[in-house]
């Protein structure tokens, strides 16, 4: 990845009253080493992150991403981020993104082992080209996540509702999907409740109703899903959060994987069963998602 920008942050307390956080930022060479070998983000994946889509230099849905960063920090017992500090860091990174699609990553780590403070940084880079999956769609397989749907309430230490740096399982799921001849995966609970994709949320259409799995502790609520639902509601369409069971997937009239950088990719096949692709509707949805949004 051709990094355009990197910024180290001296994390401020969540109640820090200042209005200008420029003195807490240090621009670093994105191609040079910047982390200690004792950094727990690399040793243990002990930290959280957000990926913010950027369109022509405009960072999308910043507040929603910052809200989720705070939520993840609370779940992981990390210092709660100073939201205005991170907002200013995002704005600075966006200035280095240029035209087209980019991605800004926000990372908050527990820091160096036995160290005094967390480590935080922001990067900016060109986004991957998702034009093909947005147009042609993706084939997915369902994969058992290995947990029952009530596990998040019984075992909160699994951190299932946080966007953590521990993404080895997510990446392994995508590799398994590719071994099965698909492009991506959809996680389901061991008792048959649909959850999410490894790096995306799921939206299903049944008739005139658009449905996404209920945002329980086992699902990371998607910022792009929230934005898509807001747009759907503006069109006078019905949206719904509810439990979705695995057999319903193949009965959907249409379905999409949605995320901040991929945007909306229609699902063309689930577990070998073809699914209709509504190209015209997908095009309109992605046109909205590509428009400037705060």
Q: Where in the chain is the domain with CATH 3.20.10.10?
A: 131-289
pLDDT of residue 152: 86
Tokens of 190: 């061991």
Query: Which ranges constitute the DSSP H helices of the chain?
Result: 40-43, 62-75, 83-94, 131-136, 151-154, 168-179, 223-234, 246-249, 279-289
How does pLDDT run across 110-163, given as a tens digit for each residue?
999 888 889 999 999 999 999 999 999 999 999 999 999 999 889 988 888 889
CA distance 214 to 193: 10
Confidence grade of residue 33 (pLDDT, cut at 50, 70, 90): confident
- Quick one: CATH architecture of 5-126? 2-Layer Sandwich (3.30)
Q: What is the mean pLDDT of residues 67-93?
A: 97
What pairs with residue 138 in β-bridges?
267
- Quick one: CATH architecture of 131-289? Alpha-Beta Barrel (3.20)
Q: Please give the distance of CA 120 from its chain centroid, rounded to a whole number.
A: 18
pLDDT at 220 over 90: no
Q: What is the dihedral of CA 162, 68, 96, 46, to 10 degrees?
A: -30
Q: Is 267 exposed, middle or buried (0-12, 13-18, 19+ CB in 10 A)?
A: buried
Q: Where in the chain is the domain with CATH 3.30.470.10?
A: 5-126
CA distance 246 to 282: 23
CA distance 37 to 26: 19
Q: Please give the distance of CA 94 from its chain centroid, rounded to a whole number.
A: 18
How does pLDDT run across 235-258, given as a tens digit for each residue?
999 999 999 999 999 999 999 999
How does pLDDT run across 184-195, given as a tens digit for each residue?
999 999 999 999
Confidence grade of residue 1 (pLDDT, cut at 50, 70, 90): low
Q: What is the mean pLDDT of residues 282-287?
A: 98
User: Which DSSP helix (H) or strand (E) runs through 26?
Assistant: strand 25-28
pLDDT of residue 27: 97
State the Rg of the chain over Cα.
Answer: 19
- Tokens 């389901």 locate to 188
Confidence grade of residue 215 (pLDDT, cut at 50, 70, 90): confident
CA distance 117 to 5: 23
């Amino acid at each position: 990845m051709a990094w355009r920008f990197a910024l180290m942050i001296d994390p401020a307390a969540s109640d820090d009253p200042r209005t200008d956080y420029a003195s807490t930022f240090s621009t670093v060479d994105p191609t040079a080493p910047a982390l200690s070998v004792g950094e727990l983000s690399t040793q243990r994946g002990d930290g959280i992150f957000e990926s913010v889509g950027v369109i022509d230099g405009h960072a999308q849905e910043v507040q929603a991403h910052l809200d989720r960063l705070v939520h993840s920090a609370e779940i992981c017992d990390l210092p709660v981020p100073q939201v205005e500090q991170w907002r200013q860091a995002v704005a600075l990174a966006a200035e280095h993104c240029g035209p087209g699609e980019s991605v800004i990553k926000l990372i908050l780590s527990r820091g160096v082992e036995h160290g005094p403070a967390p480590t935080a940084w922001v990067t900016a880079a060109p986004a991957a080209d998702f034009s093909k999956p947005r147009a042609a769609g993706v084939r997915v397989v369902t994969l058992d996540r290995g947990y029952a749907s009530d596990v998040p309430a019984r075992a909160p230490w699994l951190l299932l509702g946080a966007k953590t740096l521990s993404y080895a399982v997510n990446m392994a799921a995508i590799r398994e999907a590719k071994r099965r001849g698909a492009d991506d995966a959809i996680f389901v609970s061991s008792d048959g409740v649909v959850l999410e994709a490894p790096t995306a949320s799921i939206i299903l259409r049944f008739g005139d109703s658009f449905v996404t799995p209920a945002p329980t502790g086992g699902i990371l609520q998607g910022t792009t899903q929230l934005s898509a639902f807001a747009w759907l509601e503006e069109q006078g369409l019905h949206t719904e959060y509810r439990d979705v069971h695995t057999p319903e997937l193949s009965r959907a009239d249409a379905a999409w994987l949605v995320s901040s950088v991929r945007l909306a990719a229609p699902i063309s096949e689930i577990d070998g069963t073809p699914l209709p692709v509504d190209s015209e509707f997908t095009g309109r949805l992605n046109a909205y998602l590509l428009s400037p949004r705060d």
